[in-house]
């Protein structure tokens, strides 16, 4: 299977957008192939001359190969998808005009192929471009019909060519209009989908992140604790710590809640800078924070808290007395084997109270 995968990757590329364009190219190539097979049948039955049919088949094959090269290397060549789609549509219209000119009595059936070309264009082109392609196709086919009836009125009766042109006009323009409306609808749906995805991302963020501090919120931390218990059902090997900003109530009482919020934001920013890659700090409630330290022994966890304390001590919050140093008290507990995190947090909470009772700005271990 790997050789097949490598071959497909080499032929179709790895980028999703490039693969999508080449998939459309494959579809149009199959359409060209079907048309050439039908043209070969017309030659075999004597309705179409062999020479012009062979020339048209060679031109279609060469054009199809050329468009594969242009699409495959469009990034290097600087060709936008819209430009490629327009070129392919004009080439297909030219092939359709040539087919109509040599098809003989079955030529009216080829008018449907022109409608298919416009439908393909609507996938990649803007509505106005699709309408331009439709008008170009109509003008080109009309010129071919007029030329045929003028040169060979017995084989191509003027009234028949006029009827063919009338049916083609009605069908082609209707298809162009419908395709344009479908394109607009598809783009509106795409825009609504993007807006919905953004809204869902915002909801997910609000559901997991504390709005004030940009840390994980309590709900998300509970989810992380549950996931960690599933990852290590036997327990052990992880630590939790409860942190409380010292004398935070005094900040709110003396300076107001706006400054208190600023302290919380700056504390979160400084504390987050001291964490290891897999650590998570969450706002547990008010000025209290819960720190999860997966795969950390108590000594390593204490080092994280001490580093965090150094970062917090260096904080300077505008509006707060410069002489006042921001600090926190912490209770640290290692999760014991077979112990749920709720019990480890309870032990960390008791250690936090001991830290407060011992004078604050310290770390106590349960």
- What amino acid positions are annotated as catalytic residues? 287
Distance CA 187, CA 181 (A): 10
Kindly list the distances between the CA atom of residue 189 and the CA atoms of 118, 123, 176, in Å, as whole numbers in the listed order.
Answer: 22, 14, 20
3-state helix, strand, coil in the chain (%, to 5): 70, 10, 20
Q: How many helices (H) and strands (E) does the chain have?
A: 13, 5
Q: Which residues pair with 240 in a beta bridge?
A: 292, 333
If we measure between CA atoms, which residue out of 135, 54, 156 comes closest to residue 98?
Answer: 54
Burial 303-341 (b: 16+ CB within 10 A, else e): ebbeebbebbeebebeebeeeeebbbbbbbbbbeeebeb
Q: Are strands 328-334 and 363-365 parallel, antiparallel or unpaired?
A: parallel
Token couple for 61: 């094959």
Angle between helices 248-255 and 257-272 (to 10 degrees): 140
Token couple for 342: 């709720």
- In degrees rounded to 5, what are phi and psi of residue 337? -65, 130
If we measure between CA atoms, which residue out of 364, 304, 328, 349 comes closest to residue 244?
Answer: 328
Burial 152-188 (b: 16+ CB within 10 A, else e): eeeebeeeebeebbeebeeebeebbeebbeebeeeee
């Amino acid at each position: 299977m790997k050789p097949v995968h490598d071959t497909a990757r080499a032929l179709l590329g790895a980028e999703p957008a490039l693969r999508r364009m080449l998939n459309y190219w494959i579809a149009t190539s199959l359409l060209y192939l079907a048309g050439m097979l039908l043209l070969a049948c017309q030659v075999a039955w004597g309705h179409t001359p062999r020479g012009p049919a062979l020339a048209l088949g060679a031109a279609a094959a060469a054009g199809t190969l050329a468009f594969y090269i242009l699409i495959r290397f469009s990034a290097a060549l600087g060709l936008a998808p819209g430009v490629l789609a327009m070129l392919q549509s004009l080439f297909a219209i030219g092939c359709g005009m040539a087919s109509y000119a040599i098809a003989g009595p079955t030529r009216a059936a080829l008018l449907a192929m022109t409608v298919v070309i416009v439908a393909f264009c609507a996938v990649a082109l803007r509505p106005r471009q699709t309408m331009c392609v439709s008008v170009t196709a109509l003008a080109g086919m009309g010129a071919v019909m007029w030329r045929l009836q003028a040169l060979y009125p017995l084989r191509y009766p003027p009234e028949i060519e006029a009827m063919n042109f009338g049916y083609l006009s009605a069908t082609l323009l209707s298809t162009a209009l419908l395709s344009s409306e479908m394109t607009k609808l598809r783009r509106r749906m795409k825009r609504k989908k993007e807006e919905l995805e953004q809204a869902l991302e915002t909801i997910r963020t609000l559901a997991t992140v504390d709005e004030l501090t940009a840390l994980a919120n309590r709900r998300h931390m509970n989810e992380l604790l549950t996931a960690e218990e599933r990852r290590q059902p036997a327990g052990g090997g992880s630590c939790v710590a409860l942190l409380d900003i010292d004398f935070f109530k005094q900040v709110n009482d003396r300076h107001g809640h706006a400054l208190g919020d600023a302290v919380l934001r700056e504390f979160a920013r400084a504390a987050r800078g001291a964490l290891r890659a897999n650590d998570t700090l969450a706002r547990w409630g008010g000025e209290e924070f819960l720190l999860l330290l997966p795969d950390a022994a108590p000594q390593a966890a204490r080092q994280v808290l001490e580093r965090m304390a150094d970062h917090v001590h260096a904080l300077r919050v505008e509006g707060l007395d410069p002489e006042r140093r921001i600090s926190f008290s912490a209770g640290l507990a290692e999760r014991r084997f077979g112990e749920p995190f709720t019990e480890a947090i309870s032990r960390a909470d008791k250690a936090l109270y001991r830290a407060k009772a011992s004078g604050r700005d310290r770390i106590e271990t349960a």
